[in-house]
Amino acid sequence: MDLRKEMGSDVDGRTLNYCFSCGMCTGGCPSAMITDSRYNPRRILHRAVIEGRLEDDIWLCTNCYTCQERCPTNTKVADLINLMRRIYVKERGVPEFIKPLIENLSSCGFTSSIGDLENKRRERMGLPRIKHNSEIREIIEKTGGGL
């Protein structure tokens, strides 16, 4: 897999070339703050540009978009990290911690099954029952989004 080529074929991915590693993204990043910069978006982008390397750390992004708001070169930092996650899935498969979500979506159309317990509580509150659906499974299958 050529990471730079994969990213270059995406409209947001091409903004990777705008990055000059100033570190504004990392300076405002909550995951970087909590991990003492073990999670480091500046380094993730730099390694992608220089070495074409995909880091496992991409899964520690909170998707808060603070990096993208702060970036002085309009590099779509958060969108790039999401793109790298999709490339990661294509190359190495779905990470274990996402699998239960996909299983639930395929079986009921929700990220968590809305069962009798939840629906009885809703009825007591005068709220409508929630119905599961199979359409989302069909969409997942048709788009190759399954496990």
Q: Does residue number 27 form part of the binding site for another protein (CB under 8 A)?
A: no
Q: By CB neighbour count within 10 A (0-12 exposed, 13-18 middle, 19+ buried), where does 90 fall?
A: exposed
**Interface with another protein in residues 62-101 (CB under 8 A):** 62-66, 68-69, 76, 78-79, 82, 85-86, 89, 94-95, 97-98, 101
Give the residue with the Cβ less far from another protein, 17 or 62.
62
Q: Does residue number 19 form part of the binding site for another protein (CB under 8 A)?
A: no
Residue 12 DSSP code:
T
Q: Does residue number 2 form part of the binding site for another protein (CB under 8 A)?
A: no
DSSP-assigned letters across all residues of 20-42: ----HHHHT-HHHHHTTTSS-HH
Query: Of 30, 72, 103, 107, which lies in the binding site for another protein, with binding defined by CB under 8 A?
Result: 30
Q: Which stretch binds another protein (CB under 8 A): 1-9, 14-22, 47-55, 137-145?
A: 137-145
Radius of gyration of the CA atoms of the chain, in A: 19
Neighbouring CB atoms inside 10 A of 61's CB total 23
Distance CA 102, CA 145 (A): 9
Six token digits for residue 7: 């990213």
CA 82 to chain centroid, in Å, comes to 4
Q: Which stretch binds another protein (CB under 8 A): 1-9, 19-27, 42-50, 131-139?
A: 131-139
Which residues contribute to the site for another protein (CB under 8 A)?
30-31, 34-35, 39, 59-66, 68-69, 76, 78-79, 82, 85-86, 89, 94-95, 97-98, 101-102, 105, 108-112, 114, 118, 121-122, 125-133, 135-136, 138-140, 142-145
